[in-house]
Amino acid sequence: MPSYAITGASKGIGREFVRQLAANPTNTVLAIVRDPDSPDISELASHHPNVHIIQGDVTDPKSILEAASAAEAVTGGPLDVLIHNSNAVDMASMSSTPTQIPFDSRAVRTMFDLPFSTAIYGGLWTTNAFLPLIERGVRKKIVHISSAMGDCAFIRKSGVSDAVAYAVAKAGMNVQVAKYAAELAPKGIKVVALSPGWVDTWEGEKPEPVVHAQQVMLKQFQTAEPTLKGQIQPEESVKKCLQAIGHLDMGSSGLLLSHNGDTERWF
Ligand SMILES: NC(=O)c1ccc[n+]([C@@H]2O[C@H](COP(=O)([O-])OP(=O)(O)OC[C@H]3O[C@@H](n4cnc5c(N)ncnc54)[C@H](OP(=O)(O)O)[C@@H]3O)[C@@H](O)[C@H]2O)c1
């Protein structure tokens, strides 16, 4: 009876992980959310007795430790797969390039705080809180949902120079993952950073600035991948991510993988 815990499960890719995993009644699925009353995840859980909603904020050590205790109470001790998916950014500065970063410490903290809190501190606290459960699990897999935006080779190939704070946070996440993989290898624990592809998780109608920003991104991404047509849906992304997680072994532990299961096909 495999068990999975997913942070940031209220919407987008996190909720899709819950939806697809819940479809197999032999899975135990722990949906970690900041607000357990989020309507979409509550609705999903109401149709699947194998989904357990657990309150947890990855940027709050006490909260995520309590979430791990709650998860332990549900599973009886072990956890097979942890998926640290949570992410937050300062949307107002996403289009800033490095030379546009102001000489203003408060403004720079505003840009970096959210992605660092979720990807870096949140990645550490979530992993450390759930590690005792993973040690007792059978599959022993830890996955941090990252991005090719934090991959230097992809940045060189695509020429994407904006989204500085987000990309730096994901690059830091990739390094943390490699550190965890190195430390936990003797225990047989696999740790990977996984890029889900370019995924349409916008809810509702897209405002014009978002449509424009995505057109700009598409052109940039096409520099790296000329055949790219646009975003994929969460369903396709998560299906491929779950296949990649299924194949994860000690040989790929520590890497940044794409949803296609390799280190090159980011779309
Ligand atoms: N979409 C893409 O194209 C794409 C591409 C590359 C990588 N990714 C990565 O894939 C992951 C999911 O992306 P997405 O597009 O599905 O994002 P999303 O729709 O913005 O969802 C982000 C999730 O993170 C949660 N979250 C934010 N702050 C949190 C906190 N402090 N503690 C716990 N949860 C928190 C949100 O919960 P609340 O409802 O409580 O805010 C939400 O469930 C992210 O790590 C993202 O960087 C996405």
| Alpha carbons 194 and 241: distance in angstroms, whole number | 8
Give the closest residue (by CA) to ligand 1 atom 47. Answer: 87
Task: Name 195's bridge partners.
Answer: 258
Distance 250 CA to ligand 1 centre (A): 27
Q: What secondary structure, in 3-state letters, does 150-215 show?
A: HCHHHHHHHCCCCCHHHHHHHHHHHHHHHHHHHHHHHHCCEEEEEECCCECCCCCCCCHHHHHHHH
Of these residues, 166, 180, 195, 240, which one is catalytic?
Answer: 166
Distance 186 CA to ligand 1 centre (A): 31
Of these residues, 140, 141, 170, 190, which one is catalytic?
Answer: 170
Spacing of C-alpha 218 from chain mean position: 21
How high is the pLDDT of residue 1?
A: 86
CB neighbour burial string for 175-207, b if at least 16 within 10 angstroms, e if fewer = ebbbebbeebeeeebbbbbbbbbbbeeeeeeee
Domains of the chain, each with CATH number or no CATH: 3-205+232-258 (3.40.50.720)
Residues whose beta carbon lies within 6 Å of some atom of ligand 1 = 7-8, 10-14, 34-35, 57-59, 85-88, 118, 145, 147, 195-196, 198-199, 201
DSSP secondary structure code for residue 233 in this structure: P
Q: Please state, for a pLDDT cut of 90, what percent of the chain lies above it.
A: 98
pLDDT band of residue 204 (cuts 50, 70, 90) is very high
Tokens describing residue 116 = 């660092």
Residue in the structure block whose two tokens are 């299961």: 261
List for the chain the helix, strand, coil content (%; round to 5). Answer: 50, 15, 35
Using alpha carbons, list the distances in angstroms from residue 73 to 76, 77, 119.
5, 7, 26
Give the closest residue (by CA) to ligand 1 atom 1. Answer: 199
How high is the pLDDT of residue 91?
A: 94
**What's the first-to-final CA gap in the chain, in angstroms?**
32
From 30, 87, 220, 267, give the residue whose CB has the most ligand 1 atoms within 8 Å, as the site to mutate. 87
How high is the pLDDT of residue 51?
A: 98
DSSP secondary structure code for residue 99 in this structure: G
| Pair 241, 262: CB distance under 8 Å | no
* 180 in active site: no
22-57, pLDDT tens digit by residue?
999 999 999 999 999 999 999 999 999 999 999 999
* 147 in active site: yes
| Residue spans of beta strands (DSSP E) within the chain | 3-7, 28-33, 51-55, 81-84, 141-145, 190-195, 256-258
| Alpha carbons 6 and 142: distance in angstroms, whole number | 10
pLDDT band of residue 116 (cuts 50, 70, 90) is very high
How high is the pLDDT of residue 235?
A: 98
232-257, pLDDT tens digit by residue?
999 999 999 999 999 999 999 999 99
Of these residues, 3, 117, 147, 237, which one is catalytic?
Answer: 147
User: What is the three-class DSSP state of 98?
Assistant: helix
Question: By CB neighbour count within 10 A (0-12 exposed, 13-18 middle, 19+ buried), where does 249 fall?
Answer: exposed
Residue in the structure block whose two tokens are 């859980």: 45
Distance 8 CA to ligand 1 centre (A): 6
Mean pLDDT in residue range 111-119: 98
